[in-house]
């Protein structure tokens, strides 16, 4: 069925039609009640659970195709659905139903001397485009988050997961219809043509308000380079930890090891450790020993190598590398000023941590490091919408416009001003 659509339609015309449908669905969705949206989400979760055999069968087709294409094991793992993963997907949708509805929230309210009462109220953004790789669960996550925030969404999943995504999408549409919401509120692009991505990046003639890419660096880089509409994304998380001489050694050890090693493959994992030159004698070796014991490879700057020559030397490339692996680059810096300078040069503006007891050091770090998330005496692995108490997130943004840091349902909204008068005219 997917191929038939691809043969029969001109891609641009099809995409514009999808855009028109999304825009038409966006207005009724924007004024849908919280209860109605939650009813749809519950029905979606139920449909996913009761369709699990259909979803598994569709996934088997994708897995067969992928295996015969000789794709990597890690790719196949992300593509694979199991009964457990399907139940977790349904559970994720129910959690989103449980979040506070951001739409209609009064963000600020004030009165004017002439009696005008001004409110700033959250409204949906409109239409969100999500472009993702072959992770079928994103279909459910992204669809549910956009619905909860009152936005229509156009989902464009990876071609290798097309059958799985299609089966999951059918459950989402079932949920929309059961709650009386427009079926085009959540659309899955039915063709695998890459030109469909190009059309979305162009904004579908002003239809798409924001694009969220979910996937590896090459996907995000393409989206950031080509999109003609705003993008919520991070290209990479090259996270730094700075250990100041004023810090507690045991705390620094524990936080550095956790930041690097708890999960090495996430964007909040630390990639570079900066140690205060005044802490060489006290902090450096205990921390490097703890990292080594935890199975982490250390790539060391010349000053670190003077203390212990056994590490692999770091090259300039190491300061620019998001390893996403059990490797850390370590440099000695000249106190907080040196740390700020190094981070300013190499940071991806995602997440950085300072371990220090000196309040002046912390204040300078917080004021002078220009990243979305700054942590004091805590692990960089807390860089996550759930850990921030924001509920599920669609991603983490490193841009400075609109959404920065974790992007949850609140960040998927805009706002407008609502002014209540009693006949005021302007003199």
Judged by beta carbon, residue 310 or residue 389, the one nearer a copy of itself is 389
Of the candidates 208, 210, 212, 339, which one interacts with a copy of itself according to CB under 8 A? 210
The whole-angstrom separation of Cα 161 and Cα 135 is: 7
Where does this chain touch a copy of itself (CB under 8 A) — which range of 44-52, 57-65, 312-320, 381-389? 381-389
Residues pairing with 406 in the sheet: 396
Judged by beta carbon, residue 126 or residue 391, the one nearer a copy of itself is 126
Does 426 help bind a copy of itself (rule: CB under 8 A)? Answer: yes
User: Measured from the CB of residue 61, what is the shortest distance to a copy of itself in angstroms?
Assistant: 37
Does 31 help bind a copy of itself (rule: CB under 8 A)? Answer: yes
Q: Tell me the C-alpha to C-alpha distance, in Å, between residue 276 and each of 45, 152, 340.
A: 51, 49, 11
| 3-class SS string, 209-249 | CEEEEECCHHHHHHHHHHCCCCECCCCCCCEEEEECCCCCH
DSSP-based three-state secondary structure for 101: coil
Q: Which helix (H) or strand (E) holds 274?
A: strand 270-276
Q: What are the phi and psi torsion angles at 148 (to 5°)? A: -60, -35
The whole-angstrom separation of Cα 194 and Cα 57 is: 25
Site for a copy of itself in 323-362 (CB under 8 A): 344
The DSSP code for 399 is: S
Q: What is the secondary structure of 43-73 as a DSSP string?
A: HHHHHHHHTHHHHHHHHHHHHHHHHHTT--H
Residues 6+ apart with CB under 8 A from 72: none
Of the candidates 38, 51, 59, 123, which one interacts with a copy of itself according to CB under 8 A? 123
User: Measured from the CB of residue 63, what is the shortest distance to a copy of itself in angstroms?
Assistant: 32
Of the candidates 129, 391, 405, 408, which one interacts with a copy of itself according to CB under 8 A? 405
Of the candidates 101, 379, 394, 412, which one interacts with a copy of itself according to CB under 8 A? 379
User: Measured from the CB of residue 83, what is the shortest distance to a copy of itself in angstroms?
Assistant: 26
Residues near a copy of itself (CB under 8 A), total = 59
Of the candidates 367, 395, 409, 412, which one interacts with a copy of itself according to CB under 8 A? 367
Of the candidates 39, 148, 214, 404, which one interacts with a copy of itself according to CB under 8 A? 404
Q: Tell me the C-alpha to C-alpha distance, in Å, between residue 9 and each of 13, 147, 183, 384.
A: 7, 28, 21, 41
Of the candidates 177, 251, 280, 326, which one interacts with a copy of itself according to CB under 8 A? 251
Where does this chain touch a copy of itself (CB under 8 A) — which range of 1-9, 176-184, 281-289, 418-426? 418-426
Judged by beta carbon, residue 222 or residue 402, the one nearer a copy of itself is 402
Judged by beta carbon, residue 143 or residue 203, the one nearer a copy of itself is 203
Does 222 help bind a copy of itself (rule: CB under 8 A)? Answer: no
Does 415 help bind a copy of itself (rule: CB under 8 A)? Answer: yes
Residues pairing with 275 in the sheet: 243, 332
Q: At what angle do helices 52-68 and 34-50 cross, to 10 degrees?
A: 70
| Residues at the interface with a copy of itself (CB under 8 A) | 27, 30-31, 104, 110, 112, 116, 118, 121, 123, 125-126, 209-210, 230, 248, 251, 254-255, 258-259, 262, 344, 366-368, 370-379, 381-382, 387-389, 400-402, 404-405, 414-426
């Amino acid at each position: 069925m997917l191929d038939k659509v691809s043969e029969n339609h001109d891609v641009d015309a099809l995409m514009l039609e999808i855009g028109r449908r999304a825009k038409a669905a966006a207005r009724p969705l924007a004024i849908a009640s919280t209860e109605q949206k939650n009813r749809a989400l519950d029905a979606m979760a139920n449909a996913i659970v009761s369709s699990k055999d259909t979803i598994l069968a569709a996934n088997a087709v994708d897995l067969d195709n992928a295996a015969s294409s000789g794709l990597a094991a890690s790719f196949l793992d992300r593509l694979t659905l199991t009964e457990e993963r399907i139940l977790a997907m349904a559970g994720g949708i129910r959690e989103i139903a449980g979040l506070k509805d951001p739409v209609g929230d009064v963000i600020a309210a004030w009165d004017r001397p002439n009696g005008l009462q001004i409110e700033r109220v959250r409204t949906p953004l409109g239409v969100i485009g999500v472009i993702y790789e072959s992770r079928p669960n994103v279909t459910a996550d992204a669809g549910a988050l956009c619905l909860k925030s009152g936005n229509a969404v156009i989902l464009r999943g990876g071609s290798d997961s097309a059958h799985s995504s299609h089966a999951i999408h059918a459950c989402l549409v079932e949920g929309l219809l059961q709650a009386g919401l427009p079926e085009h509120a959540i659309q899955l692009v039915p063709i695998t043509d890459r030109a469909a991505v190009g059309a979305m990046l162009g904004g579908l003639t002003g239809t798409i308000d924001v694009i969220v890419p979910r996937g590896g660096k090459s996907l995000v880089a393409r989206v950031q380079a080509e999109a003609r509409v705003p993008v919520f994304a991070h290209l990479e998380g090259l996270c730094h930890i700075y250990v100041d001489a004023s810090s507690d050694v045991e705390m620094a050890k524990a936080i550095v090891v956790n930041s690097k090693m708890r999960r090495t493959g996430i964007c909040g994992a630390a990639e570079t450790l900066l140690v205060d030159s005044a802490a060489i004698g006290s902090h450096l070796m205990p921390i490097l020993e703890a990292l080594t014991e935890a199975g982490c490879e250390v790539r060391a700057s010349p000053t670190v190598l003077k203390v212990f020559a056994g590490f692999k030397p770091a090259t300039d490339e190491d300061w620019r590398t998001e390893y996403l692996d059990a490797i850390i680059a370590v440099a000695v810096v000249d106190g907080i000023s040196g740390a700020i300078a190094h981070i300013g040069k190499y940071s991806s503006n995602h997440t950085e941590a300072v371990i220090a007891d000196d309040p002046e050091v912390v204040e300078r770090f917080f004021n002078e490091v220009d990243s979305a998330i700054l942590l004091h005496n805590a692990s960089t692995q807390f860089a996550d919408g759930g850990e921030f108490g924001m509920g599920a997130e669609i991603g983490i943004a490193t841009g400075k416009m609109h959404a920065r840091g974790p992007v949850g349902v609140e960040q998927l909204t805009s706002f407008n001003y609502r002014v209540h008068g009693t006949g005021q005219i302007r003199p």
